[in-house]
Structure 1
Amino acid sequence: MNALEVKDIHTYYGKSHILDGVSLVVGEGELVTLLGRNGAGKSTTLRSIIGLTPARSGAIHILGKDTTRWPPYRIAAMGVGFVPEGRRIFANLTVDENLKVPVERSGPWTIPAVYKLFPRLEERKSNKGRQLSGGEQEMLAIARTLLLNPRLLLLDEPSQGLAPLIVQEVFRVVKATRDAGTSVLLIEQNVRAAVEIADRAYVLDDGGIVYEGSAAAFGQDEERMRALAGASAEKWDEAEMK
């Protein structure tokens, strides 16, 4: 059984046709990245999957169930974690208090476990959310979602606005989450970082999928990577991402 199957979805904002027949699959225990330039429709794809901006046609199956018309709360309750763009932590609560907000679900991810994964957060567990750096806020947003012990994790631009060294730290955590058995769909503009850790990649352009295949193979095709996804010129040390 696949963790996620998106089949030929069409999504609109009013009369604007944003997603034009998008299809993608995330297998169980797989890390898949969806790449593309600003405005390609990446975040809309996530919003359609989680039910925030329902698709007008097509089908979405999550963990074997047809969730195409389900509301977001019902999708979340079945074991889907969503880390939205912009982090959205509680600024006036401490790190520890933020981590106590989610309703506990059985599984390997507990507060001690996420502190082990994010030692930086444990060092700052008495700091309020507003006192954290952007990278620390992103770590907190991911850690809080992991406490739901999701079977499928959706991440929307976790590297946005972060310094390269912090991006590497965040992406190590995303990879560790996959290695622990969680299926992951990663929406990213930082192409080089994403293809280092992903199993497979899709590229979205103007509301449609224009590439599907091995993330490693896509990362080796410099010309196509730049043309389709607007890759940055940054170089990533592959050894450091393992």
Structure 2
Amino acid sequence: MNVLDAEGLQTYYGKSHILHAVSLRVREGEIVALLGRNGAGKTTTLRSLMGLTRPREGSVRIFDHATSAWPPYRIAELGVGYVPEGRRIFPGLTVEENLLVPLGRHGSWTIERVYTLFPRLKERRSSKGRQLSGGEQEMVAIARALMLNPKLLLLDEPSQGLAPLIVREVFEVIAGMRREGMSVLLVEQNVRAAVDIADTACVLDDGRVVFTGPASDFGSDEARVRALAGASVENWDVPDAGNASRDGLSKRSPPP
């Protein structure tokens, strides 16, 4: 079953034609990695799906609702969480205040469960957003989206600016979402991290879809990765876990 089905999206910023007939699908319980060079149209695709930048042509269906003309808040009410590029947390609010900003939907994700997933946030619950490290801010951004109890999560560059060890921690959380039946559309520059957890890879080049297929197939083809995504598939494992604390991330308990 498709939870998201976009067909033929044509999106513009003023006179600039950004997306050219972009089509993609996300199935229930699937992680889809949306890859491509900087400027390929990845963020615009997410904005088009969320109703933040409406496509001039094409259709979007989310949970079998035609949402192309819907405002973002109505799309969120369907059970769609969105973590924008750059985290966008409120710098003057505490961690806990940031988490309580969304109007929560009924479900299993609560403040206490978020703190179980991210113990560091519980320790920092009274700290202002501006006082957090990059890794902590990313945790707040993801946790805030989880407070909506989403069935579909859109993530824009969650690894941006993070140390490799912290990237691994964040992607373990994303992989755990699939195990709970959540669907994820992941925009990511870190190709290896993305294809290691994704089921499907969708690659954009100059606003056009140039590849859609199994993520494992894409990740194993070094030439294709370099040609289409502009990145290497070098191993991103970090053997030394001793520096985890430098970005404010402590060992987590597994999700309940």
Runs of 4+ in 1 over 6 A off after TM superposition: none
State the distance in 2 between where 1:117 and 1:181 align. 17
Q: String of CA shifts for 1:33-92, please: whole Å, max 9, x gaps.
A: 100000000000001000111111111000111111111111111111111011111112
* Pairing 1:143–2:150 present: no
Residue 83 of structure 1 is matched in structure 2 by 83
SS in 2 for 1:236: coil
Mark the runs of 5 or more structure 2 residues left unpaired by the alignment: 242-256
* TM-score, length-scaled by structure 2: 0.90
Cα distance, 1:102 vs. partner?
1.8
How far, CA to CA, are the matches of 1:136 and 1:93 in structure 2?
14
What do the CA deviations read for 1:125-175 (whole angstroms, capped 9, x no partner)?
Answer: 222111110111011000011000011100111111111111111111111
Which residues in structure 2 correspond to 1:86-101 (within 5 Å)? 86-101=86-101
Corresponding position of 2:110: 110
- Name the counterpart of 2:37: 37
| Map 1:53-202 → 2, pairs under 5 A | 53-202=53-202
Q: How many residues align?
A: 240
8 A Cα contact 1:6 1:23, kept in partner? yes
Give the deviation of 1:114 after TM superposition: 1.0
Q: Partners of 2:147 and 2:16 in 1: how far apart?
A: 36
Deviation at 1:204, TM superposition (A): 0.3
Q: Displacement of 1:234 after TM fit? A: 4.2
Which residue matches 2:214?
Answer: 214
Letter in 1 for 2:199: D
* TM, length-normalised to structure 1: 0.95
Tell me, in whole angstroms, the C-alpha distance in 1 between the residues paired with 2:87 and 2:238. Answer: 27
Using the aligned pairs only, state the percent identity: 68
Contact 1:196/1:238 (CA < 8 Å) preserved in 2?
no
Could you tell me which amino acid in structure 2 is paired with residue 224 of structure 1? R
Q: In structure 1, what residue type is equivalent to 2:168?
A: Q
Aligned equivalents of 1:217, 1:15: Cα separation in 2: 37
Q: How does 1:7-46 map to 2 (within 5 A)?
A: 7-46=7-46
Structure 1 residue 105 displacement after superposition: 1.4
Q: Structure 1 residues 29-38 or 119-128, which shifts more?
A: 119-128
- Distance apart, 1:237 and its partner CA: 3.5
How far apart, CA to CA, are the structure 2 residues paired with 1:142 and 1:22?
26
Report the Cα distance in structure 2 between the residues aligned to 1:14 and 1:172, rounded to whole angstroms.
38
Aligned-CA RMSD value: 1.6
Give me the whole-angstrom Cα distance separating, in 2, the residues matched to 1:94 and 1:55: 35
Unpaired stretches in structure 1, ≥5 consecutive residues: none
